[in-house]
Every structure is written in C-alpha cells, then in structure tokens.
Amino acid sequence: MIGLPASTELNKRIPKQKFYENITLAPALKKFFVEQVKIIYWRNKIATSSVNLSAGASVTEVEVFEVRLNQPVLDESVLRQIDKDIPYHILFLLEYEGKHKAAIGYKEAAASGNNAFKVNRYYYTEWLPAEELPVKLDGLSIDAVYENFFRQIAGNRLQAKPTESIKEFVEKDEKRQQLNKQIDKLQNKIRKEKQLNKQMQMNSELKKLKKELEGVVTWTH
C-alpha cells in the first residue's frame, strides 16, 4: 500500500472484537469500535527479521495497521486502545471510501514497565489517495524508520531542530497546547470580569503566560 518491502507483508485480518471483548471498557469506547470501525488489518511488520535493518535501541518493531472506517471520523480513543494492547510501535493507515490518512502517536515505555506503553499525542496526514501518502521506509535502523515515519506524518507541525529528538518535540508541543488552553481560558475570564482590579491581575497573569508561550515557540524553531 505504501511501497513497503514484500518481506514485511502479513495482511492478516484482526477481529476488532479482540480489542474490547475480554476487558472492561467504557461503554462509549466499545461503541466507537462497533460503530466507527469496519475492519482492521495487520498489513506489515517492520523488524530485523523481515527487513535488512539494524535493531533499534528503543523501537524493536513497527507494525502497520490498516483501519477501515464506516465514517470519515475516528475517535482517537480507539487508536489509544489498540496502542495500549499492542506492545510495539504502530503506524496506522485509516481508510474511508478509497482515501487514506496516516496516523502515528509518540509511544514510549511507561514507568511501570511490564511491556506497558503510553501514547502522548497523535499526528495525522490529510485524507489522500494511498499512493500520495507521505510515508516512506527511510533509515538504517528500526529506531530511525519509526522516527522518520513520525517526521513524515507530523510534517510542518514538527518544527524540531535536526538535533532535537522526537520526544523533546512532543513535550514542547504538548506544553504549547497546554499554554494556549490556559491563555484562551484566562482571556474569556477577563472579558466576563466586571471589577477593574481583578481584570488588571488577570491581565498581568496573561502577559506571563504569553511570554512563556513565546519561549516554547522559540525552542521549536
């Protein structure tokens, strides 16, 4: 589908029920699987056993999952649940009515260990014909391949320096989003506040948040 070596192909169908049948899931999440997901295919396995690459220090395998949808919107909690259940890094290829969207989350081992992972944030391409997806196998190790998938999908949103790790970028991106939310919330409060002295206090706080945001934006350029 995205030009990966034939040696990596698996093309196995995974019943979507496997992700919600035998565990306690929130009813809403189960509903997302049932209503939004049509079929899940395990398309490729990128590992030292399937392709001529060096072993990764933090990424041992990259699985490619095609998730065919019943609608053009997929709740992100579905991807999080799949990522939680699979102890390897995953490149998702979403499909709806012949168009595809690549998705990837920054996945790292959780502090608890025991093959547990946490995913901080997902990045997506636009809906495109499969052959136009900007996702190519690039790198000499599994680590490099995964990092390049991440950079290809994040595109212009990943304004990291060449020497900056994906982990550093994601942390800064999350900080930027958090500050933007705080700024929006505070601006709404200021608009509704009637007392001048409270407005002045909040404006002072707003300036500090904006200055902090400028610092985060500068780090990423």
Cα-based angle 19, 3, 59 (whole degrees, multiple of 5): 55
Query: What's the half-sphere exposure (Cβ side, CA atoms, 13 Å) at 21?
Result: 4
The per-residue pLDDT for 120 is 77
Separation of alpha carbons 34 and 38, rounded Å: 8
CB 143 within 8 A of CB 113: no
Q: What is the tens place of the pLDDT at every residue in 106-133? A: 887 766 666 667 887 899 999 999 999 9
Name the nearest CA neighbour of 77 among 115, 145, 31. 31
pLDDT category of residue 174 using cuts at 50, 70 and 90: confident
**Of 12-16, 96-100, 116-120, which gets the smallest average pLDDT?**
116-120
Q: Which SS3 state, helix, strand or coil, does residue 84 take? A: helix
Domain extents in the chain: 6-157, 169-219
**What number is the average pLDDT over the span 73-91?**
94
Mean pLDDT (the chain, rounded): 88
The per-residue pLDDT for 165 is 73
pLDDT category of residue 219 using cuts at 50, 70 and 90: very low
Tokens of 100: 């595809």
pLDDT category of residue 41 using cuts at 50, 70 and 90: very high
Instruction: Say what the pTM is.
Output: 0.79
**Residue with more model confidence, 221 or 158:** 158
Residues 6+ away with beta carbon under 8 Å from 18: 85
